[in-house]
Amino acid sequence: MTQRFVKGHIAFRNRAGTEQEYLQRLAIDGQQPMALYIGCSDSRVIPELLTGASAGELFVVRNVANYVPALANADCSVGAAIDYAVGVLGVQDVIVCGHTGCGGIRAALEGVEALAPQQSSLRQWVQNLVPTAENARARGFAGEALAQRTTEENVLDSLDNLTSYESVAARLGEGSLGLHAWVYSLENLRLRVFHADHGVWADAEAVL
């Protein structure tokens, strides 16, 4: 099975062509990404593909349901990536991007007890999302509207949790860091962004 990916790597090297010099320069000069992208591990959501980013432009963190725990309950891996991207690499923006049809969101809505007992790490992680799902349900949302609302609120909760990290708070205080909430639709390939000033979600084209 993995031979397919090894062959893919060889094909990548063969077609690198004019990009080879650029990639080698990144290796020598180091990375200077413009943004930290925090997204879901879902194989259908590829950050560089949906943003058109080139190598070296995004510092990427991916986990189940694109969740950022608050510092008080931080996952060390997520926190380390945030500190490195914001405090060391000096990214200008942080993007938290959720997506439709997210399995982590669905698991939170169905309840962690529906997960297999041996999936202890997954159960513990998804438990972080349950309060958001319950809040959306308590407001009367149901069906697809409930899933959409939970997806959106999970992104906004993660964005809010980002501010608990000292590296993020310091850059926000300087006015040198932007925080952005996105939701990507698998069905129609459209991106929606959150307008904090107006408290609404809108198609990405509307902000250009």
In which element (H, E) is residue 143 found? helix 143-162
Q: Which of 42, 149, 157, 171 is catalytic?
A: 42
pLDDT in tens, 36-48: 999 999 999 999 9
Spatial separation of the C-alpha atoms in residues 75 and 71, rounded to whole Å: 8
Do 6 and 27 meet the contact criterion of CB atoms below 8 Å apart?
no
**Dmax (CA) of the chain:** 55
DSSP-derived pairing of the beta strands 200-203 and 191-195: antiparallel
SS3 9: helix
> Distances from the Cα of 184 to the Cαs of 25, 95, 157, 199, in angstroms?
32, 12, 17, 18
- The pLDDT mean for the chain works out to 94
119-143 average pLDDT score: 95
Q: In which band, very low, low, confident or very high, does the pLDDT at 167 lie, cut at 50, 70 and 90?
A: very high
In which element (H, E) is residue 201 found? strand 200-203
Q: Which of 15, 25, 44, 139 is catalytic?
A: 44
99 is known as an active-site residue: yes
Q: Residues for the chain: how many in total? A: 208
Q: Which of 99, 149, 171, 192 is catalytic?
A: 99
The better pLDDT of the pair 208, 37 is held by: 37
pLDDT in tens, 82-106: 999 999 999 999 999 999 999 999 9
∠76-32-201 over CA atoms, to 5°? 70
40 is known as an active-site residue: yes
pLDDT at 205 over 90: no
pLDDT at 73 over 90: no
pLDDT value of position 36 = 98
pLDDT value of position 198 = 83
172-192 average pLDDT score: 97
The pTM assigned to this predicted structure is 0.94
Question: What single DSSP character describes residue 87?
Answer: I
Q: Which of 29, 97, 102, 171 is catalytic?
A: 102
How much of the chain exceeds pLDDT 70, in percent? 99
194 bridge partner residues? 201
Q: Which of 40, 157, 171, 192 is catalytic?
A: 40
Do 155 and 183 meet the contact criterion of CB atoms below 8 Å apart?
yes
DSSP-derived pairing of the beta strands 58-63 and 93-99: unpaired
pLDDT at 128 over 80: yes
pLDDT at 206 over 90: no
Do 183 and 151 meet the contact criterion of CB atoms below 8 Å apart?
yes
76 is known as an active-site residue: no
